[in-house]
Amino acid sequence: MRVLLSLVVAGLVAGSLASARAEEYCGFLDQAHAPVRCGFTSIKDCKQALHHKKDAVCMPSPSFAKRIATGVRNG
């Protein structure tokens, strides 16, 4: 489980660095080899896209979380 979480976090960080515009939320199914999908504007949109499955995980993208933590609102 730790390996999966590490891979997901690394993928999110790499994806956010490659993008000029940081998406607000990312999500994935807590299963082996599940892709991480970003670009959702809310947790609700993320969960809907993942069909409200029990193993769905939605969270702020790393760059969005950093902007919130530092008080920067315009990326």
Residue 59 has pLDDT above 80, yes or no: yes
Does residue 37 form part of some domain? Answer: yes
Helices (H) and strands (E) in the chain, counts: 3, 3
Q: CA 74 to CA 30: how far, in whole Å? A: 31
Tokens standing for residue 10:
């690394």
Please give the tally of structural domains in the chain.
1
DSSP string for 39-55:
EESSHHHHHHHTTT-TT
| Residue 40: closest CA among 12, 67, 61 | 61
In this prediction, residues 10-36 reach a mean pLDDT of: 71
Does residue 18 form part of some domain? Answer: yes
Residues spanned by the domain of 41 = 2-70
Does residue 75 form part of some domain? Answer: no
Provide the pLDDT confidence category of residue 34 given band limits of 50, 70 and 90. Answer: very high
